[in-house]
Amino acid sequence: MRKFLLLAIAAYAANLMTYAQTCLDDALAYRVKNEAFNNSKIEDLSQFMTDDLGPRLAASKMKLRAEKMVINKLEELGLSNPRAEFAFEFAKGGWDNEKNYVAMTAPYYCSFAANPKAWSGSTDGLVKGECVVIDVKEKADLEKYKGKLAGKIVLMPVQQTYEIRFDPLASRYTDKELAELEKDPRPANARRHTMPSNWQAMRELQNAIDKMLREELVLAVVSGSGTFNVPSSRGVQYKQGDPEPTPEIVLPIEDHGRMVRMLNKGQKVEMELDVKNSFTNNPQINNVIAEIPGSDPKLKNEIVLIGAHLDSWHGGTGGADNASGCIVMMEAMRIIRSLGISPKRTIRLALWGGEEQGLYGSRGYASKYLYDTDKKKTLPGYEKFALYLNMDNGSGRFRGIYLEENDLAVPFFEAWKKPLESLGFRTLSLRKTGGTDHLSFTRIGLPAYQFIQDELEYERTYHTTMDTYERLSLDDLKVDAAITAWLVLNASMDGARIPAKPGYPENIPASSMW
């Protein structure tokens, strides 16, 4: 019995050693912070990623232009093998807006800040027409508009109204909010979010409306989205090779609502538009990738991956969403490279394509290197995957990290975060978070995490024409880059690494397949 007990203790100790973790020394932490704060390139990268690159809609000519420019920038930073890699087929193809003029001309003149919907069509030069509001709640309502809309500009009903809010425009996490994030959420047994029961019927109705508007030969369709006289960015259903869709315009709810109210009172409203959009044959999504090669003979083929999405919507220059993430990840790589450190594991930077359209870039990467969804088996990269860190919540400061219910990751970050606590990086949350590229890896059980960030004014500005350089908090980005560089260095040098979640990949559920 005693012998059995000793063997059990030895096995337990060996298991602990397998998952032991270390933290690099304070002298290196000082060097990382010194480079990040006293030799920062955040300002240069911020202007480059917004002003210079411009909008970067998935598969657009501007996105392809940005890929080439970013590859050149990564070469300047001294990273190895910067390249564009095909990630996924993309049925929509490329789309770029080349001209955009929208105004109301009656009962008086007013030019509008407008945003064409991505993949919608062009007007036939400058067109003028009378506006009408349609209100379709079921398919039978379509009959009353048939034969009456040709040459008209159709306004969709008001879907969003403005209410005065008394909370601040920008905010940071309070200590109380961060303490709440530290609580393990699993005992609460949160319900899964499901689609509304009438989702399919709603989609069928919208398709019927779109079909009627095409057949009626309307000049354009105008809807309202976005507040403070700033239109949001949206897209339309389209597949390359289909007939060019009807021109669709998004106005801020203030301008759209004004015209709808006047029409509902019986006033005559007219508009003029001159919108030119171009479609290109580019049915693919690319990622931009570069590395700092590993140096350890046993560990150099293992990958510490960091990333953010390079694509943006077309209305602004994708400042907070997600130039901010690209800036931080590029700066983190620059910091590591400038310190002359040879990591044991390879550190790989991935700037994803097509995130806004459905995580296309990261999904393609996972399918190519990590997990074959058709054969339901792991690929060689699965066992060599050490960690993925993602940034995609604006330019707010990192306050901690969401660990996706992976208890095995906690000891690693507990050790690594000690030199970062003075920067406010203290919170380890076992909560899950969604909506961005780390999901392509967590779905198959791999350690992939999104940072907890101060929101600042993200919810008010992302996916709008306001998402530009001005949305970036440069001081926060400097801190985020230092934190990323430090965590990445530790993950690349630690003798152990965070394991996949217990039960993976054997128990990857069917719902996790793409």
If one looks up domain 26-90+283-512 in CATH, what number appears?
A: 3.40.630.10
Residue 57: both structure tokens together: 């809609």
| Residue 299: pLDDT band with limits 50, 70, 90 | very high
**CA dist list (Å): 375 to 20, 52, 444, 500, 508:** 34, 43, 14, 20, 12
Q: How many C-beta atoms surround the C-beta of residue 493 within 10 A?
A: 20
- Per residue in 102-148, pLDDT (tens digit) is 999 999 999 999 999 999 999 999 999 999 999 999 999 999 999 99
| Res 318 pLDDT > 60 | yes
432 and 492 Cβ atoms separated by less than 8 Å: no
pLDDT at 9: 36
pLDDT at 189: 64
Domain assignments of the chain as residue spans, ordered by start: 26-90+283-512, 99-276
Identify the DSSP state of 499.
Answer: P
Mean per-residue pLDDT for 498-505?
94
Match 């965590």 to its residue by tokens. Answer: 487
468 and 317 Cβ atoms separated by less than 8 Å: yes
| Res 7 pLDDT > 60 | no
Residue 288: both structure tokens together: 């931009």
Residue 161: both structure tokens together: 């109204």
Residue 429: both structure tokens together: 């949350």
- Per residue in 18-44, pLDDT (tens digit) is 455 789 999 999 999 999 999 999 999
Pairing of strands 248-251, 270-280: unpaired
- According to DSSP, the residues that pair with 96 across neighbouring strands are 278
Name the percent of the chain lying above pLDDT 70: 94
| Res 512 pLDDT > 50 | no
Q: How many C-beta atoms surround the C-beta of residue 151 within 10 A?
A: 12
d(CA 322, CA 391): 8
- Per residue in 381-391, pLDDT (tens digit) is 999 999 999 99
d(CA 87, CA 64): 14
pLDDT at 194: 65
| Residue 199: pLDDT band with limits 50, 70, 90 | confident
| Res 368 pLDDT > 80 | yes
DSSP characters over 197-251: TTHHHHHHHHHHHHHHHHHTT-SEEEEE--STT--B--B----TTSPPPPPEEEE
pLDDT at 188: 82
| Residue 8: pLDDT band with limits 50, 70, 90 | very low
What is the CATH architecture assignment of 99-276?
3-Layer(bba) Sandwich (3.50)
| Res 408 pLDDT > 60 | yes
pLDDT at 165: 86
Identify the DSSP state of 498.
Answer: P
- Per residue in 454-488, pLDDT (tens digit) is 999 999 899 999 999 999 999 999 999 999 999 99
Mean pLDDT taken over the chain? 93
**Is 255 in a helix, a strand, or coil?**
helix
pLDDT at 192: 63
| Res 265 pLDDT > 80 | yes
d(CA 121, CA 273): 12
Mean per-residue pLDDT for 412-423?
98
Q: Which of the pair, 381 or 4, is modelled with greater confidence?
A: 381
- Per residue in 320-335, pLDDT (tens digit) is 999 999 999 999 999 9
pLDDT at 173: 96
CA atoms within 13 A on the CB side of 53: 36
| Stretch among 96-110, 196-210, 298-312, 314-328 having the lowest mean pLDDT | 196-210
